[in-house]
Structure 1
Amino acid sequence: MLSRGDLTDGEWAVLEPLLPRSNNRCGRWRDHRQVINGIIHRLSTGCQWRKLPERFGPWQTIHKRHALWSADGTWERLLQHVQAVADAAGGIDWNINVDSTSIRAHQHAAGAPTDPPPAPPPCASKGGSRRSVHLRTRTRLFLAEAEPAGEALGRSRGGLTTKIHLSADGRCRPLSLVLSPGQRADCTQFEPVMDKIRVPRLGPGRPRRLPDSVGADKAYSNSLIRSYLRRRGIRHVVPEKSDSRTARWRRGSDGGRPPGFDKARYAARNTVERAINKIKQFRAVATRYDKRGYVFLGTVTAAALLIWLRS
């Protein structure tokens, strides 16, 4: 399975320089590589945190590290760095595709408190440094911006569900990720997914945000999305819905021209489906066990990071 196995030396060499070297609240971190291997094991198996093998160290340390990195955006920054390295080497196919997938939530994923959890207080023996106060403030701001409403849990006939909206490059790797409740329509999250595409430059220059082209299915076929793409100068292939086509015919010349459609380009939309299949190889993503929305988003982002590292 793609997700099994600890970090290789090459993968660790990519991540090690980007990780924080010390915890200013309570002293030095436990070995990052050991903790990340524990997170990978949980991603692969979907086991409970407290049932992690002892070789990874205390399960509380691994769980808290994952929650903290999900809250302060560390997983997202690691993913963006790996994407930046691939882009600098010309390894990203910018003919991207957009889609979503529904994730069944376990019953233990329900019941999170209404208010976001406060940032952990500084260690009593160390005191609160200026850097630790800045970290807690940054974490609260990140949660205020990234926390999905209602923890991204929706109710349907099948029970609690979460929907992952994503864009994928032409090599079946996730570029951006957004969570929503399971009943949310795909078209409502198209702009947030596109706005989260941000691949930094290794040298000077602004991050790349615009793809060469976008492909999507009929769920994204509406005038607002087409206007958004035209306004940004992005070529797109989105099939027209039958009712939209009928309404345009009824209006005659006032209905305008039909949108262009490239069958060969649309056939490449399978790359986003294959990216979804890769993400769902991780059992902790295929079924949601995390109560908090931002923690589950960190879980999905960590899975995407492994896909990029191992592609």
Structure 2
Amino acid sequence: MGRGDLTNAEWDRLESFLSRGGVRGGRWSDHRRVINGVLYRVRTGVQWRDLPERFGPWETVYKRHRRWSADGTWAMLLSKVQAAEDAAGQIDWDVSVDSTAVRAHQHAAGARKAPPAVVVQKGAVRGTNPADPVAETGRPAGGGGQIGECLGRSRGGFTTKIHLAAEGRCRPLALVLTPGHYGDGPQLERVLAQVSVPRTGVRRPRTRPDHVLADKAYTSRSNRRYLRRRGIRHTIPERLDQQKHRRNRGSRGGRPTGFDSEHYKKRNTVERAINRLKGFRAVATRYEKRAYTYLGTVTLAALLIWLRT
């Protein structure tokens, strides 16, 4: 076993969820070896062709990663691990929300127009229109282009933005991709909509955190109304210009928003979760042309964080 490979205990947690049958009625090549190959690439950021020979043909590793990113296998494994942790009472449901910009390599540009999406995946990538089906699938539903592949120009250059919700033990609960110039606040509902942890028996998945913490980028009235409508307590500071506008309106401005400065200190959990994700070089720099493949890379990194925390 090489450095960074799945341990026996980690493999035992995943093996039962993976099918042995491959495409056209054949059998998959060794799942564990292929997953270790994908992990090696996610951890080091090397080109697929430069994978060590011990992982087998690089084409096999690359195609498996691309297929599992598209059909939601990585997301399914993450959900299974989260469900096991929740059943054991190991999830802290004080959830923090934030985003991070990821610099895109020049090779990430130039993707051809994508075919219509045929599969649905937990996790979302977003195109030019909020109503575009790309917001509900793991692959862009046509359109192509930089926006459709979650690539945009921001102060950091050619970037993609990862929006995430992290539980109290610094582990990602939900992931959403947008182009790098998209704002944080409008994505709060979409990020929290991706929080869905299955529970044992016939009960519905858990989708509502006990508490949500976020910075001033999420302090809009629409976000606060959304959280109140779902019955979610929240700690979000109010911007100075909003405070001034409220005071200028007098009694019509409403009451000040509640803010617990001591509880707000716990928001650093999402910052630490981002640091863990960016410890994987293929997450810290985006090399993939397709947004759904990069989402699969980020999801696999999150899965490893859950297995090893």
Q: Give me the TM-score of the superposition, normalised by structure 1.
A: 0.90
State the shift of 1:157 in Å: 4.7
Q: Is the 8 A contact 1:4 1:40 kept in 2?
A: no
Q: Deviations over 1:101-145 (max 9, x none)?
A: 000000000000122388xxxxxxxxxxxxxxxxxx5469x9853
Give 1:269's match in structure 2, choosing from 248, 254, 267: 267
Give 1:156's match in structure 2, choosing from 154, 157, 165: 154
Against the structure 1 CA distance between its residues 240 and 139, is the aligned structure 2 distance closer, same or farther, given a 3 Å change threshold?
closer
Equivalent-residue separation in structure 2 for 1:68 and 1:117 (angstroms) = 15
CA RMSD of aligned residues (A): 1.9
Alignment of 1:230-245 (within 5 A): 230-245=228-243
State the shift of 1:159 in Å: 2.5
1:122 counterpart residue number: none
Name the aligned partner's letter for residue 108 of structure 1.
H
Equivalent-residue separation in structure 2 for 1:27 and 1:182 (angstroms) = 41
State the shift of 1:202 in Å: 2.3
Q: Which runs of 4+ in 1 moved over 4 A?
A: none
Equivalent-residue separation in structure 2 for 1:96 and 1:290 (angstroms) = 29
Equivalent-residue separation in structure 2 for 1:158 and 1:304 (angstroms) = 24
Give 1:253's match in structure 2, choosing from 224, 248, 251: 251
The higher relative CO (CA closer than 8 Å, separation ≥ 6) is in 1
1:43 counterpart residue number: 42
Equivalent-residue separation in structure 1 for 2:247 and 2:3 (angstroms) = 53
Question: Does 2:5 correspond to 1:9?
Answer: no
Q: Is the 8 A contact 1:249 1:255 kept in 2?
A: yes
Equivalent-residue separation in structure 2 for 1:117 and 1:225 (angstroms) = 32
Equivalent-residue separation in structure 2 for 1:301 and 1:138 (angstroms) = 17
Equivalent-residue separation in structure 1 for 2:308 and 2:75 (angstroms) = 17
Name the aligned partner's letter for residue 23 of structure 2.
N
Equivalent-residue separation in structure 2 for 1:266 and 1:79 (angstroms) = 28
Question: Does 2:6 correspond to 1:22?
Answer: no
2:179 counterpart residue number: 181
Equivalent-residue separation in structure 2 for 1:277 and 1:68 (angstroms) = 27
Name the SS of the counterpart of 2:149 in structure 1: helix
Q: Is the 8 A contact 2:70 2:119 kept in 1?
A: no
Name the aligned partner's letter for residue 191 of structure 2.
V
1:132 counterpart residue number: none
1:126 counterpart residue number: none
1:81 counterpart residue number: 80
Equivalent-residue separation in structure 1 for 2:249 and 2:215 (angstroms) = 25
1:128 counterpart residue number: none
Against the structure 1 CA distance between its residues 99 and 208, is the aligned structure 2 distance closer, same or farther, given a 3 Å change threshold?
same
Against the structure 1 CA distance between its residues 167 and 158, is the aligned structure 2 distance closer, same or farther, given a 3 Å change threshold?
closer
Q: Is the 8 A contact 1:215 1:237 kept in 2?
A: yes
Paired residues in the alignment total 291
Name the aligned partner's letter for residue 195 of structure 1.
A
Give 1:196's match in structure 2, choosing from 180, 194, 197: 194
Equivalent-residue separation in structure 1 for 2:188 and 2:148 (angstroms) = 19
Alignment of 1:277-292 (within 5 A): 277-292=275-290
Among all aligned residue pairs of Structure 1 and Structure 2, give the percentage whose two residues are the same amino acid.
62
Against the structure 1 CA distance between its residues 54 and 26, is the aligned structure 2 distance closer, same or farther, given a 3 Å change threshold?
farther
Q: Is the 8 A contact 1:38 1:52 kept in 2?
A: yes
State the shift of 1:42 in Å: 0.3
Name the SS of the counterpart of 1:25 in structure 2: helix
Q: Is the 8 A contact 1:4 1:44 kept in 2?
A: no
Give 1:298's match in structure 2, choosing from 296, 299, 305: 296
State the shift of 1:155 in Å: 1.4
Against the structure 1 CA distance between its residues 242 and 175, is the aligned structure 2 distance closer, same or farther, given a 3 Å change threshold?
same
Name the SS of the counterpart of 1:268 in structure 2: helix
Q: Give me the TM-score of the superposition, normalised by structure 2.
A: 0.90
Name the SS of the counterpart of 1:175 in structure 2: strand
In structure 1, stretches of 5+ residues that fail to align are 119-136
